[in-house]
Amino acid sequence: LIHLLSTEGLSKDILTHILDTAANFVSVNDREIKKVPLLRGKSVFNLFFENSTRTRTTFEIAAKRLSADVFNLDIARSSASKGESLLDTIANLSAMAADIFVVRHSESGAPYLVAQHVAPHVHVVNAGDGRHAHPTQGLLDMYTIRHYKKDFSNLRVAIVGDVLHSRVARSDIHALTTLGAAEVRVVGPRTLVPSDLAQMGVRVFHTLEEGIRDADVIIMLRLQNERMTGALLPSSQEYFKAFGLTAEKLRLAQPDAIVMHPGPINRGVEIDSEVVDGPQAVILSQVSFGIAVRMAVMSIVAGNEA
């Protein structure tokens, strides 16, 4: 693996190797991660052309835990605002001896373009491109599911909400089907569920009640209003009534079901606060596990594994 651009096409062996590598970075209390010298002398450039709280910060922490030097380009204050192209930006940062580019961009495919133009010793990690893919989120979601449920083969996983605009949903579906989840469901209003999902091996539901019944894992997604045109935009109240996960509706799932969300959360829109703050939510564990998973990804693409 030279770049990580998508979970699509990654074999079960590679996915499992990434999860196992991440597990080696996590200490017994599942929180503490020791600093290791695997990327000492390497430079990681975080290029976030779209806003981020979790992904950008955990990539920075992960790179520091690997002893890399980390540079966060402030895109709003960069010369991108003067019209410098993405590829010219990359060429100039490459001249500063970058080893890994972590790229988030609103345009689907932008990290692929970067990967095609960097020198062979430089690695690109997709931190979310448009509605296409968010592979490290997909991987940290798999890490979280494996942590709580141990084995994928008996699991019913429901992905609920605005799947149409969700790069997380796509990355999760590819990883879950490859890792052998028993059933992957997608649940949402007809306007927010893409039509090509049956080809991806998932079952589609258009009511929350049916979609989460007996589920072992529920992954909630926010409405990605920034990617919607007016016709698609449901009102928050209507949406919450039909697809908002409340404690009462959660009782339809398995009693030990876990509730996940990639964040950011919109409380009272796709999920009720009682669920976010309740005992079945593992949303903040997902964030914590993201550090070890991103350490694993960067050490593997750089060829500097433990």
Q: Which residues are catalytic?
A: 54-55, 82, 104, 134
Q: Mark the segment that binds ligand CP (CB under 6 A) among 50-58, 78-86, 115-123, 192-200.
A: 50-58
Q: Which is nearer to ligand CP, 54 or 203 (CB)?
A: 54
Edge-to-edge strands, sheet with 123-129:
69-73, 43-48, 100-105, 123-129
Among 24, 27, 53, 92, binds ligand CP (CB under 6 A): 53
Among 135, 138, 161, 262, binds ligand CP (CB under 6 A): 262
State the DSSP code for 34: -
Q: Mark the segment that binds ligand CP (CB under 6 A) among 46-54, 79-87, 245-253, 294-302.
A: 46-54
224, 265 Cβ separation under 8 angstroms: no
Residues 101-160 that bind ligand CP (CB under 6 A): 128, 137
137 labeled binding residue: yes
59, 124 Cβ separation under 8 angstroms: no
Q: Mark the segment that binds ligand CP (CB under 6 A) among 38-46, 143-151, 212-220, 261-269.
A: 261-269
State the DSSP code for 297: H
Q: How far apart are CA 142 and CA 146, in angstroms?
A: 6
Question: With binding defined as CB under 6 A, does residue 55 bind ligand CP?
Answer: yes
Q: Within the chain, what is the greatest distance between any pair of CA atoms? A: 56
First to last CA, the chain: 16
Q: What angle, rounded to 10 degrees, do the helices at 110-117 and 86-94 form?
A: 40
Q: Which residue has the tokens 């007809």?
A: 190
264 labeled binding residue: yes
165, 224 Cβ separation under 8 angstroms: yes
Q: Which is nearer to ligand CP, 56 or 185 (CB)?
A: 56
Q: How far is the CB of 11 from ligand CP (least distance, A)?
A: 24
Q: How far is the CB of 97 from ligand CP (least distance, A)?
A: 26
299, 38 Cβ separation under 8 angstroms: yes
- Contacting positions for ligand CP (CB under 6 A): 52-55, 128, 137, 262-264
Q: Which residues are documented as binding site for L-aspartate?
A: 82, 167, 222
Q: Which residues are documented as binding site?
A: 54-55, 82, 104, 134, 137, 167, 222, 263-264
